[in-house]
Amino acid sequence: MRGFFNFTTMATTNLSDYDLEKVPDGSAMSFGIVVSEWNYEVTGALMNGAVDTLKRHGVKEGNIYIKHVPGSFELPLGGQLLMEAQQPDAILLLGCVIQGETRHFDFICQGVSQGTVDLNLKYNKPFVFGVLTTENMEQAKARAGGVHGNKGDEAAITAIKMVSLQKGA
C-alpha cells in the first residue's frame, strides 16, 4: 500500500544503511552541526557519525562547523545562531531525549520538533532533526553507532540530499 508507514520495520532498520550511489557529491557544500551536551555519550557518537559521513561524501573538514549547546531544547536557537554566523547550506541538530517518569520528555520533544520546523521555514534552508527520542539509554546507544546504526549518519545523508534538492542538482 502506497504511503503506508510500518513502525515495526522502522524499529529494526539500520540507520546507517543507504545506497552510496544515491547520495550527491557534497564537495561544494557546507554544513553546521549543533550538538547537545546532555547525554553526550550518545550525542557525541551521533556527531562523529555525521562528520564521518559528510567527509565520506566529499565535504571538506573546513566546511563543517560544530557548536555545542547544553541540552536538546537549546538546539533550535543554537541552529539559528550558527546559521546567522556561518551561513552553511544546511544544519544538523543532534540530540538525545530519554523518556523519564514525568512529562518533561513530551515538552522537550515538542519544543525541539516545532523549533526545527520553524527554522526550516524561516531560513528556507534545511535544518535536519537528528534527535533520538527513546525510552531508555540502551535504545539510544543502539541508534548511536550500535545495532541499529547511527542516526548521525542518517542526518548527514538527509542534509546532503536536501541541499542538493535546494540547489536543483
What's the pTM value of the predicted model, to 2 decimals? 0.90
1 has pLDDT over 80: no
- 57, 68, 104, 148: which is the annotated catalytic residue? 104
How is residue 96 written as a grid cell? 538525545
Mean pLDDT in residue range 146-169: 95
Alpha carbon 42 to its chain's center: 13
| 45 found inside a domain | yes
Residue-range definition of the domain harbouring residue 113: 28-63+71-167
Q: What is the pLDDT of residues 18-51, one digit of tens each?
A: 777 889 999 999 999 999 999 999 999 999 999 9
- Number of domains within the chain: 1
| 46 found inside a domain | yes
| 12 found inside a domain | no
Q: What is the pLDDT of residues 116-152, one digit of tens each?
A: 999 999 999 999 999 999 999 999 999 999 999 999 9
At 108, which CATH number? 3.40.50.960
Give the 3-state DSSP-derived string for the chain, with helices as H, strands as E and coil as C.
Answer: CCCCCCHHHHHHCCCCCCCHHHCCCCCCCCEEEEEECCCHHHHHHHHHHHHHHHHHCCCCHHHEEEEEECCHHHHHHHHHHHHHHHCCCEEEEEEEEECCCCCHHHHHHHHHHHHHHHHHHHHCCCEEEEEEEECCHHHHHHCEEECCEEHHHHHHHHHHHHHHHHHCC
CB 66 within 8 A of CB 7: no
Mean pLDDT in residue range 92-98: 98
6 has pLDDT over 70: no
- 57 is a catalytic site residue: no
Number of Cβ atoms within 10 Å of the Cβ of 89? 21
